[in-house]
Amino acid sequence: MGPAVLSVSGPWSLAPVPAERRSKDVPDGRLLFDTDSGATRLLSPLSVFIVEMLEAHGPACSTAEIVRAVHLEEPESSNHECLSAVEAALTELVSARLISAAQR
C-alpha cells in the first residue's frame, strides 16, 4: 500500500501531544524525541511554522490558508513553490502524528 494521499484542502488541526514526547527548538527546525520508543525526528522550519500557525489560529486551517501564510512570509516564492513546500511539510507532520485532517 502506498503513502496516504493528503486532502488538497484540509482542514488541518493539531493532534493531541502524547505525554512521552519531548521537543527542543534548534537552528534547523525542531527536534522531537519520543521517550517511549526512543525515536528522534527533526522537523523542518516550515513544519514548525505550520504547527505554530495551527496553535495560534486553531482549531483548523485549510491548505490554502497555510499556503497564503507561507507566501506572505516568503513573497519571492511562487504560489506553486509554496504549495509544493506546504504539501511536503504537511506530509511530514502527518507522519509525525502532529497534525490530522480535521473533521468537517
Please tell me the predicted confidence (pLDDT) of residue 73: 93
DSSP string covering 16-79: PPPTTEEEEEETTEEEEEETTT--EEEE-HHHHHHHHHHHHH-S-B-HHHHHHHHHHH-TTS-H
Q: What is the residue-level pLDDT of the chain in tens, covering all 104 positions? A: 334 445 556 799 888 877 778 889 999 999 988 887 888 989 999 999 999 999 898 778 899 999 999 999 999 999 999 999 999 999 999 888 889 887 65
**Domains of the chain with bracketed CATH:** 17-98 (1.10.10)
pTM of the model: 0.82
Please tell me the predicted confidence (pLDDT) of residue 5: 45
